[in-house]
């Protein structure tokens, strides 16, 4: 599965974000470099939640940071608000930041332990001078209320006094202070207990509706992703395997990697068969990826064509796209 190609780009008026042929490369030494993201393209329409799914080393976190220009892009374009962020200077990028915010994986580490909750949530407002002190204070209270934190009780306490779930709520409140258009969530519930995950996912859903957000949801957990997505993008070793709607992705995955991924998730029901698919072997090294389709070394349907030619994303109906020479039916 090497997934390049832009057959799946829609280019409508509603497009909030459009990423084309994005490559993010890190140099390990003078001679070797590794491409964490190898030519990814996708777009986001207003009000959508696009989930980016993959296992460790697939490049999804790097992709998330590159979209926000927190990491430099080696090539390709990230078009937001009609402008290509990769071509803008530092100050111009900075001015776009209020419109695109991020939630991080480790809720406690994403809050500075030296400041109180109120100070943390007010910080974005201060940086961009949104309103006077009074207006800022009341906005902070409103935000904390909307995420289920009582500002009177919690407002003057420090972040480390709270649990993971509460810290994530505070992070969400902070990221909404500037009323962004785009919210990128990088594994927002992975570090939380199972019974708390549902609370935070529902909260994100509520905030999305309330503020009219468009979201990118990065996760390794397919079950979580299924519940929140409009579309799902599956990544493997820096490339796209498949883009599909949640139901069709799970009911009939077209790509062999997606099939293995879906089949590996343990179902909490003893009457259902355990792990229908066991994927053999280990992922190849991203420093020296296989030629042609990167998944071919572990794919049960690999042929010579797969080694010779990198598959492009193509339409398989229903708004779904696959990058595979021999997709499953």
Partner 1 sequence: MKFKQLGFFSKASVIWLGIVMFMVIFGQWIPLPKPTNFDIDAMGVGLFDSLKHPLGTDANGYDLLSNVILGARPSMLISLVSVGIGGFIGSALGIIAAYKRGKLDYIVNTLFNIVLSVPALVLGLALVAVLATNPDPNIEVPTSRRVIVIILSLTIVIIPILGRIARGATLSWSNREFVVAARSMGMKDSQIIMKHIVPNVLPAIYAVAFLAIGVVIVVEGSLSLLGVGIVDGVSWGSMIARVRGDLEYAPHSMVVPVVVLALTVIACNQLGDVLRSQLDSREGRL
Partner 2 sequence: MSSLLSLSNLRITFDTPRGELAAVRGVDLEILAGESLGVVGESGSGKTVLSRASMGLLTMSSAHRSGTVVFDGQDLSAASRDTVRNTWGTGMAMIFQDPMTALNPVRRIGSQLTEGLRVRLDMSKKDAKKRAIELLQLVRIPDPETALRKFPNQLSGGMRQRVMIAIALACNPKLLFADEPTTALDVTVQAQILQLLSDLRKELNMSMVLVTHDLGVVAGHTDKIAVMYAGEVVEYAETKELFANVRMPYTEALLNSIPRLDQKSSGRMAVIEGRLPDPTQPEPGCAFASRCPYVQEKCRTEHPELQKANNGHQFRCHFPLGASR
Q: Residues interacting with partner 1, by CB under 8 A?
A: 65, 68, 70, 94-95, 97-98, 100-102, 104-106, 108-114, 123-124, 127-128, 160, 171, 174, 178
Tell me which of partner 1, partner 2, none is bound by residue 34, counting a contact when its beta carbon lies within the kind-specific cut-off of 5 to 8 angstroms. none
- Closest to partner 1 by CB, 9 vs 88, is 88
What would the DSSP string read from start to end of 239-297? EEEEEE-HHHHHHS--SHHHHHHHHHSPPS-TTSPS-S----S-PPPTTSPPSSSTTGG
- Closest to partner 2 by CB, 29 vs 195, is 195
CB of 172 to partner 2, least distance (A): 16
CB of 197 to partner 2, least distance (A): 8
Tell me which of partner 1, partner 2, none is bound by residue 201, counting a contact when its beta carbon lies within the kind-specific cut-off of 5 to 8 angstroms. partner 2
Tell me which of partner 2, partner 1, none is bound by residue 68, counting a contact when its beta carbon lies within the kind-specific cut-off of 5 to 8 angstroms. partner 1
- Of 55, 36, 33, nearest to 282 by C-alpha is 55
Contacts with partner 2, residue ranges (CB under 8 A): 55-56, 163, 165, 193-199, 201-202, 205, 220-224, 226-229, 246-247, 250, 260-272, 274-275, 277-280, 282-283
- At 10, is the secondary structure helix, strand, or coil? coil
CB of 295 to partner 2, least distance (A): 12
CB of 272 to partner 1, least distance (A): 37
Tell me which of partner 2, partner 1, none is bound by residue 89, counting a contact when its beta carbon lies within the kind-specific cut-off of 5 to 8 angstroms. none
In angstroms, what is the C-alpha Rg of the chain? 21
- Of 121, 98, 101, 102, nearest to 111 by C-alpha is 121
Q: Where are the alpha helices (DSSP H) in 109-219?
A: 117-127, 133-146, 151-154, 164-176, 194-211
Task: Point out which residues pair with 100 in neighbouring strands.
Answer: 182
Residues 6+ apart with CB under 8 A from 24: 35, 36, 37, 59, 62, 63, 66, 71, 72, 73, 74
- Closest to partner 1 by CB, 38 vs 166, is 166
Task: Point out which residues pair with 50 in neighbouring strands.
Answer: 216, 231
Task: Point out which residues pair with 243 in neighbouring strands.
Answer: 233, 321
CB of 296 to partner 1, least distance (A): 35
CB of 1 to partner 2, least distance (A): 14
- Closest to partner 2 by CB, 73 vs 299, is 299
CB of 205 to partner 2, least distance (A): 6
d(CA 220, CA 48): 19
Tell me which of partner 2, partner 1, none is bound by residue 165, counting a contact when its beta carbon lies within the kind-specific cut-off of 5 to 8 angstroms. partner 2
What would the DSSP string read from start to end of 42-79? EEEETT-EEEEE--TTSSHHHHHHHHTTSS--SEEEEE
- Closest to partner 1 by CB, 38 vs 61, is 61
Tell me which of partner 2, partner 1, none is bound by residue 128, counting a contact when its beta carbon lies within the kind-specific cut-off of 5 to 8 angstroms. partner 1
């Amino acid at each position: 599965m090497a997934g390049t190609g832009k057959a799946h780009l829609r280019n409508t008026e509603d497009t909030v974000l459009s990423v084309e042929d994005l490559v993010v490369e890190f140099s390990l030494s003078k001679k070797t470099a590794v491409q964490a993201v190898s030519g990814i393209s996708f777009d986001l329409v207003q009000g959508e939640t696009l989930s980016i799914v993959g296992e460790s080393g697939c490049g999804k976190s790097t992709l998330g940071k590159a979209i926000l220009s927190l990491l430099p892009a080696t090539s390709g374009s990230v078009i937001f608000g009609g402008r290509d962020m990769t071509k803008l200077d530092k100050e111009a990028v900075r001015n776009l930041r209020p419109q695109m915010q991020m939630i991080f994986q480790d809720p406690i580490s994403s809050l500075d332990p030296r400041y109180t909750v109120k100070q943390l949530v007010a910080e974005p407002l201060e940086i961009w001078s949104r309103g006077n002190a009074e207006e800022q204070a009341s906005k902070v209270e409103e935000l904390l209320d909307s995420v289920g934190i009582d500002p009177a009780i919690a407002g003057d306490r420090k972040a480390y006094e709270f649990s993971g779930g509460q810290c994530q709520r505070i992070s969400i409140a902070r990221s909404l202070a500037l009323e962004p258009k785009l919210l990128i969530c990088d594994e927002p519930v992975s570090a939380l207990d199972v019974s708390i995950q549902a609370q935070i996912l529902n909260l994100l859903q509520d905030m999305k509706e309330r503020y009219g957000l468009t979201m990118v949801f990065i996760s390794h957990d397919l079950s979580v992703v299924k519940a929140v997505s409009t579309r799902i993008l599956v990544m493997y070793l820096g490339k796209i395997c498949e883009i599909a709607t949640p139901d069709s992705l799970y009911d009939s995955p077209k790509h062999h990697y997606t099939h293995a991924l879906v089949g590996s998730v343990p179902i909490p029901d003893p009457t259902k068969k355990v792990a229908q698919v066991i994927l053999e072997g280990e992922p190849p090294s991203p420093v020296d990826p296989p030629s042609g389709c990167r998944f071919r070394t572990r794919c049960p349907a690999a042929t010579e064509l797969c080694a010779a030619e990198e598959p492009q994303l193509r339409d398989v109906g229903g708004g779904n796209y696959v990058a595979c020479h021999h997709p499953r039916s």
